[in-house]
């Protein structure tokens, strides 16, 4: 088992993970990061609290190993578009 840390960047807000999780490998860490980014994005993006959510994963040495970002763009059709 390896320990991975999941830092969250949500607009101007940054939350550093100082506890981490013990997971089997980088694939498991990626799945966890994808799920976390989707869950946070589901709550924050529709409310337009931030344009993008990013989960950055660090390994046991504190080195970045991957990041997952989700964003939402809303485009409304206007009369000029008709």
Ramachandran region, residue 60 (left: φ > 0; alpha: ψ -120 to 50; beta: rest): alpha
Element (H, E) at 35: helix 26-44
| Reported confidence tier of residue 21, pLDDT bands at 50, 70, 90 | very high
| Reported confidence tier of residue 57, pLDDT bands at 50, 70, 90 | very high
What pLDDT score does 6 carry? 98
Domain spans, the chain? 2-75
pTM above 0.75, yes or no: yes
| Reported confidence tier of residue 28, pLDDT bands at 50, 70, 90 | very high
Average pLDDT over the chain reads 90
């Amino acid at each position: 088992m390896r320990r991975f840390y999941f830092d969250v960047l949500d607009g101007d807000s940054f939350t550093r993970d100082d506890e981490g999780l013990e997971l089997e490998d980088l694939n498991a860490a990626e799945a966890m990061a994808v799920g976390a980014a989707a869950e946070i994005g589901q709550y924050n993006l529709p409310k337009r609290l931030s344009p993008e959510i990013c989960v950055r994963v660090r390994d046991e040495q504190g080195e970045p190993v991957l990041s997952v970002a989700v964003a939402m763009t809303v485009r409304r059709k206007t009369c000029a578009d008709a």
